[in-house]
Amino acid sequence: MNINNLIQIFDKQIKQEFEDELKKVINSKELNDKEIIKWKEDKNNLELCESYLSKQIFLKSFNFNIQDWREIRKGDYFNELHLENGLNKKKYTLDKIEQYNKQLK
């Protein structure tokens, strides 16, 4: 399987999760049509989708080797990760990857 196929799989899953999250928001907040459109256009809401975060982790760490991962996970990484729940675990890992990538530049 090549990278483009993987990205298509991610995108399909993201679309489904995004629709599911939108349904939850509509039901819980009783949004009107204008608010629904605004919610859908807010790209920050993609971060409610586990698949979106997984895709970002994949894309930003695609070329990492074992040493890169050791560097990212050094120190209190696992202790801090253990304290996180749900999507925050992926957000934490993504943040560590982004910090690492900034150091490389």
- pLDDT (tens digit, 9 = 90+) per residue, 10-38? 999 999 999 999 999 888 888 888 999 99
Q: How far is CA 22 from CA 1, 29, 49, 95, in A?
A: 31, 10, 11, 25
Token pair recorded at residue 99:
């910090």
Contact call for residues 63 and 4 (beta carbons, < 8 A): no
Candidates 87, 28, 83; CA nearest to 56 is: 87
pTM: 0.89
Q: pLDDT digits over 38-94, tens only?
A: 999 999 999 999 999 999 999 999 999 999 999 999 999 999 999 999 999 999 999
